[in-house]
Amino acid sequence: MSRQSKSVQVKICGLLTPETVKAAVEAGADYIGFNFYPRSPRYVTPQKAAELAALMPASVLKVALAVDADDATLDAIMAALDPDILQLHGDETSQRLVELKSRYGVTLMKAIPIAGPEDPIKSEIYRDSADLLLFDAKPPKSMKNALPGGNGLAFDWSLLAGQKPEIPWMLSGGLTVDNVREAIEATGAEAVDVSSGVEDAPGRKNPELIRKFIQAAKAVDV
């Protein structure tokens, strides 16, 4: 019996306007992310994120992105947005994830920055504490004002060869309409995440690029 193919899941991250949220929903996004990292050009307040999330059907999952946030910050995010997934994009330890799971009972996604062959292996420490992993490009130390993610950088996808974790994972980092098919085919990713790759400028999403990216990703069977 042949294996039944399925379409790739797509997460659009860092949305700031009703127009872009509606574009992502209409194009078939599976996840929409809201960025609560103050240094990011995609930063949104918990109240604003809640207003945007009200435009989403329950079938599209709400993701809250935080970077080494304290409990008070996360409490405010959880209270306003009630996200389906909490995406941790900083240096959070496995023990911190255990604490957050106990505190909020929410699905946890841990970002793993990738630059060299030793980096994918680091995901092992989150095997028992994370529900999802996100493999993203690690910015070089020489990059000025680098963010934890959303820098438009891709990593060498071959680094994931033979390093697939046991828990579900997404691919991120420098993905665009032009390379998302290649990225999926190279890594076997069943879910992809994009932010800067569908922008005209940092923080300014392009609705048409959102539509084209989702269409391109979902055209690839996995």
Q: Where are the domains of the chain?
A: 9-218
Main-chain phi, psi angles of 192, to 5 degrees = -130, 155
- On whether the CB atoms of residues 180 and 193 are closer than 8 A, the answer is no
Query: For the segment 64-94, what is each residue's pLDDT rounded down to a tens digit?
Result: 999 999 999 999 999 999 999 999 999 999 9
pLDDT at 115: 85
**Residue 153 near residue 175 (C-beta atoms within 8 A):** no
* CA 143 vs CA 92, 140, 152: distances in Å: 22, 5, 12
**53-69 residues labelled b (16+ CB within 10 A) or e (exposed):** beebeeebbbbbbbbeb
- Which residue ranges of the chain lie beneath pLDDT 70? 1-5, 139-153, 162-163
Q: How many degrees, rounded to 5, is the angle at CA 121 between CA 117 and CA 12? A: 90
Per-residue CA distances from 140 to 81, 94, 116, 128, 151 (Å)? 33, 24, 11, 29, 11
* pLDDT for the residue numbered 110: 97
Name the 3-class secondary structure at 159.
helix
**What is the pLDDT, as a whole number, of residue 161?**
77
Query: What CATH number was assigned to the domain covering residues 9-218?
Result: 3.20.20.70
Record the tokens describing residue 89, joined without a space: 């994009």
pLDDT tens per residue, range 188-199: 999 999 999 999
- Tokens describing residue 73: 């910050």
Q: How far apart are CA 133 and CA 126, in angstroms?
A: 9
Reported pTM = 0.91
Which of the residues 136, 156, 200, 221 is marked catalytic?
136
Q: Locate tokens 């996604």: which residue?
A: 109
Residue-level length of the chain: 222
* CA atoms within 13 Å, Cβ hemisphere of 154: 16
Q: Which of 13, 71, 156, 193 is catalytic?
A: 13
Query: In the annotation, is 68 catalytic?
Result: no
Contact 198, 29 (CB under 8 A): no
Alpha helices in the chain (DSSP H): 18-27, 46-53, 71-81, 94-104, 180-187, 207-218
Q: For this structure, is 91 an active site residue?
A: no
pLDDT at position 1 is 43
